[in-house]
Structure 1
């Protein structure tokens, strides 16, 4: 895979042209949610997919040879509700550990085995970080995440220290793993599964539904999306959002550019 440099942004037309070149194949379009489809907000609950992006993705999902999906750190049900897409789509939550497909669901084995322990830890973490303005503890039922985007540097440091003190025993015991994202620290069951595994599962299911292998496209901004970029490899097309180093083939600056790409792909003369 030829990775883009951190200083090089691609044009939307470059990416559309690359997809047009494979118009005879089914297409599988997968994308991250926060930071890719949607701009980040201080409060995760404030994020919702904008109408133009919802309409473009819904139009692509309605094409008979296209499959569309969202792969997120959010719970699958949460991202489904916030996306509000019309028609069939894949929703992969918890970084791909649960997948809600058009006619099939998947969850990694033993995902819920630590539910009670995670809830106890989540309650303790919420109490420990509540006194730091701008630090937000998100309980996802099967994981907990500390968001520090809105915290001052001092409060962020104190919140992270409290978070680490309580989480360290379960991390060092191998029970939980720490997932670092954009101004977020998340504790997940220590299960060997990531967004790349989710991409491969969705690809296999889409192949079964279409009767042929699809050309995979993946859009993402986070470090966790690198697993998905690797899973797609040179068999498809990958786009990173932002300026961080990445193994993706193309680069766009922000979710607004992703909106332009999706709108362009959804126009009648774009690749079908």
Structure 2
């Protein structure tokens, strides 16, 4: 039923759903769902999970109702106001897959994000490097924020900063940390080399050490090695996600700060008619949810098929529901714009 309704919705917007994709087919990750998804979509061997607790999820939905079911209420609140859209990548615009290098965005999702960006200022904020996210998304009409918002570049239509040679300058609050980050990256590579299955991902302003393919008995050994390497560097900290350790600068900056920076860049920081909408599935997205909750206006939406602690007000089950929501949002704005022409 969902697929049929989605196809009908895309058809009304002039989209054709492609049933073949030139990109390699990837297998969704079905790992343990009692942990938070990490923002890099890195996954190892598949594991079996227990069936979802339907009753528990239904109870959780009472507090965090489906953004699709609440769509009319959301658009009623948004009517006449300026909505600014923020999106996570892994687990939100693409499914979590075994190989993070194959977390491809579908053609349908790309069209949906492109359409949304026609009507609303749109940003994608990810834990991955900005360059990697842009490589996946392949759109020029959105903002890109990599390394959890530590590396932000505006789209062509926005006001930008340029250096003396005319090159674009990204906003990078931790730029002075780059030499030290590269040193740590080299040391980490040597440190984890002997641990089977450990993988290092350089996300420019943060370094991710993934251990999904590391034997369980070596997990604590790996964590101790990484933390020991960083403990004498107070300017850095280690954070944990789902089967991933991240080394990042110890500066007061997160996705919530990135959201505020982007609103300010757009000239919306003090506007009373602006409603930020943020969709994300990761624990790092909670910082952005908190900013919206603090404003008491906007739409913090968590992507999750299981109950989890969150300050988000609404929910979507998975990327397929994110796609459906974005298509409805673009269709609503398109019809509203046409009405006033």
Q: TM-score per shorter chain, which class?
A: 0.7 to 0.9
- How has the CA–CA distance of structure 1 residues 270 and 17 changed in structure 2, closer, same or farther, with 3 Å as cutoff? farther
Does 1:143 find its partner at 2:198? no
Which residue of the other structure, out of 220, 229, 246, is the alignment partner of 1:166?
229
Which residue of the other structure, out of 274, 279, 282, is the alignment partner of 1:214?
274
8 Å CA contact 1:5, 1:245 repeated in 2: no
The equivalent residue for 2:177 is 114
8 Å CA contact 1:28, 1:206 repeated in 2: no
Gapped regions of structure 1 (runs ≥ 5): none
The alpha-carbon deviation at position 19 of structure 1 amounts to 2.9
- How has the CA–CA distance of structure 1 residues 15 and 203 changed in structure 2, closer, same or farther, with 3 Å as cutoff? farther
Does 1:263 find its partner at 2:301? no
The equivalent residue for 1:29 is 85
Note the 1:1-272 alignment, pairs <5 A: 7-8=60-61, 10-21=65-76, 22-63=78-119, 66-85=120-139, 87-102=140-155, 103=158, 104=160, 106-109=170-173, 111-170=174-233, 174-207=234-267, 213-233=273-293, 234-242=296-304, 243-267=307-331
What is the Cα-based RMSD across aligned positions, in Å? Answer: 2.5
Q: Which has the higher contact order (CA 8 A, sep 6+)?
A: 1
The alpha-carbon deviation at position 213 of structure 1 amounts to 4.4
The alignment's TM-score, normalised by the length of structure 2, stands at 0.69
Aligned length: 261
SS at 2:79's partner residue?
Answer: coil
Quick one: distance in 2 between partners of 1:134 and 1:5? 37
- How has the CA–CA distance of structure 1 residues 208 and 180 changed in structure 2, closer, same or farther, with 3 Å as cutoff? same
Quick one: distance in 1 between partners of 2:266 and 2:188? 39
- How has the CA–CA distance of structure 1 residues 108 and 119 changed in structure 2, closer, same or farther, with 3 Å as cutoff? closer
8 Å CA contact 2:68, 2:316 repeated in 1: no
- How has the CA–CA distance of structure 1 residues 46 and 13 changed in structure 2, closer, same or farther, with 3 Å as cutoff? closer
